[in-house]
Amino acid sequence: MRRRYHLHLPGVLYVALTLFVGVAAANRPNNLLVWVFGAMLAGVLISGIVSGGMLMGVRGRRFDPRRGVVGEPLLIRYAIENRSRVWPAFNLHVSELPAGNRQRDAADRAFAWQRGMQGSDGWVLHVGPGDLVHGEIVLFPQCRGRLIFDRFRVSTTFPFGFVRKSVSFDQRTETLVHPRVLPLRDDLLSSLTKGGLGGFRLSSSQGAGDDYFGVREYRPGDSVRQIAWKRVAAGQGIVSIERSSSTPPRIRVVINLRTPTDQLRVSERGESARELEESAISLAASVISLAERQGYEVGLTVLGLALPRSPLRRGHWHIEKLMATLAQIDLDAARDGEAQLPDADRDRAVIVAIHPDRASPSVAPDGAWHLVATQLSTMIAPQAPRSGAKANNEVLA
């Protein structure tokens, strides 16, 4: 916890004006002016006393943020506590401070705040003596990756705005920023997975589906709707019907990152190699997100980097894992140019291979679909036309 006073332009101007009035009062036999000078000087003293006493008992703690998504608001909450028994604290600004030098070494690939963040500070109007309130700041991550929160600062210019006093708290934590998810066309996956391994199939195990799987003896607790009443009527005793579980279509997303960034083939006028790679990652995230929405089981394989493969699964937490895997891709790491799709990933799912620059069919078995990052713009679902003014009004509203 560090306390600091920051010079503030209004404060400097005020002190200069006070000195000017003091000189005038000393040279002019006007006692009212002397009192005005006294009142102005008292203002400076009160400012120091009140703001000092105000921040003396303020303590802050950041709640660990959830993961962020590029382009989406990331809310970070803080518990601001005032331990003072007397002084209330007013007009507190909460802001995150960029990580120090230790986060900028080559080994740590976390994004610096200046690069990775844009957003607005938090504001707390009042914390009474002994009170605890929750403030929040909103950030808009600009790029995916690990985001390190090192310190945050609580500052105030109360009471008069002459001096900005701050107290900063060390609380290192980090979170992941998932790649940007773009709204892809709804028919994209259905056209990719038409027939074959991509369709719905019956499972060989019982479940909660609609199709008939078999019958078994009645067990206490079975619903009356499960009882096979025809067999009961036929005098065959009480038996229950079992249903089969349906198996959703499967899709495995493979990102081809075998080629190092500087060896990618890019056009001079187009996106840079690194931007293509990021677009490929974003396309993968968008495909995964769309697949999840449409009920697919999804798996992810990153070729060329030492990242664990993920099985084919459904569900929120599985998708979060896949997104976290995408968020952790370090494009500066060494690439394995000979990496191949493991055999375990070749069966029972439609494979969608995503390439940054050009399609390389060798990375995936026959029948796989190959997408290129540059195609991303063509796959985005068309937006309803909206005028700029209307959009702005919506934002302001």
Partner 1 sequence: MRLVERFRLFALLLVLLAMVAFCVSQRSVALLLVALPLAILSWYVTEGPRGRALPRWMQNVLLASLLGWAAFAFMTLPDLSDTMGLLGRFVQWLLLVKLYGRKSPRDYAQIIALSGVLVMAGTLQTVEFAFAVIVFLYAALALWTVLLFQLWAARERARDARMRAIMVARNTFGPSSSAALAPPVQPVFGQSVAWQFRAVAIASTLMGLLLSIVIFVIFPRELSDFARREFRFGAPRVGFSEDVQLFTNNRITDSEREVFTVNWSDRRGESMRFSEPLYLRGAVLDRYRPEEGRWIRAPRGEIRAISTYASDGRKDGSHSGEFQSLARFVIDERFQTYVQQVTMSSLASDVLFSAWAPIAVASNEGRNFEFDPSTFLVRESRIGGGGRSRRYSIKVQPFPSEKTLEALMGAFIPEANVNFPVPQIEQFSRELLDQLNPIGVPSAAEIAEKPESRWIRNRGIARAFSEWLQSSRFSYTTDLGGFVRITGEDPIFSFLTRYRFGHCEYFASALVAMCQSVGIESRVVTGYLAIEYDETRELYVVRESNAHAWAEVRVGEFSWLQMDATPSETLALLQERRRSWADNFRWVYDRVEFLWNSRVVTFDSSTQASLAEQMSGAWQRSFRDWLLAAQEQLRRLNQYFVFGSAGTWWLGLVGFAAVLSVLVIARLRRRTQRLRRVVGLERDGVASRGVARRLARHLMQQLGFWLDVLDTLDRHGVGKPAALPPRLHAEVLSQSRPQAGETFADLVDLYYDVRFAGRPLDSSRRQRANELVQRLDRELAAGR
* For partner 1, the closer CB: 112 or 228: 112
* For partner 1, the closer CB: 2 or 194: 2
* For partner 1, the closer CB: 131 or 320: 131
Q: How far is CA 286 from CA 42, 343, 394, in A?
A: 61, 25, 25
What does the angle CA 140 – CA 146 – CA 150 come to, to the nearest 5 degrees? 80
CB of 255 to partner 1, least distance (A): 21
Cβ 87 vs Cβ 129: under 8 Å: yes
Q: What amino acid is encoded at 28 in this protein?
A: R
SS (H, E, C) 285-319: HHHHHHHHHCCCEEEEEEECCCCCCCCCECCHHHH
* For partner 1, the closer CB: 65 or 122: 122
CB of 14 to partner 1, least distance (A): 9
CB of 326 to partner 1, least distance (A): 17
* For partner 1, the closer CB: 2 or 115: 2
Q: Give the rounded distance of the alpha carbon of 154 from its chain centre.
A: 23
CB of 41 to partner 1, least distance (A): 6
CB of 5 to partner 1, least distance (A): 17
86 — phi, psi (to 5°)? -120, -50
The verdict on whether omega for the bond into residue 260 sits within 30 degrees of 0, i.e. cis, is no
Cβ 233 vs Cβ 245: under 8 Å: no
DSSP state letters, 113-171: HHHH--EE-EEEEEE-TT-EEEEEEEE---S-EEEEEEEEEEEE-TTTSS-EEEEEEEE
CB of 61 to partner 1, least distance (A): 5
Cβ 311 vs Cβ 300: under 8 Å: no
Closest CA to 191 of 72, 352, 391: 352
Q: Give the rounded distance of the alpha carbon of 176 from its chain centre.
A: 6
* For partner 1, the closer CB: 100 or 337: 100
CB of 149 to partner 1, least distance (A): 11
CB of 74 to partner 1, least distance (A): 9
* For partner 1, the closer CB: 93 or 109: 93
CB of 182 to partner 1, least distance (A): 7
Going by their DSSP bridges, the two strands 369-372 and 350-355 should be labelled as parallel
**Rounded-to-integer distance, Cα 273 and Cα 276, Å:** 5
* For partner 1, the closer CB: 80 or 239: 80
Residue 340 has, within 13 A of its CA and on its CB side, a CA count of 6
* For partner 1, the closer CB: 6 or 201: 6
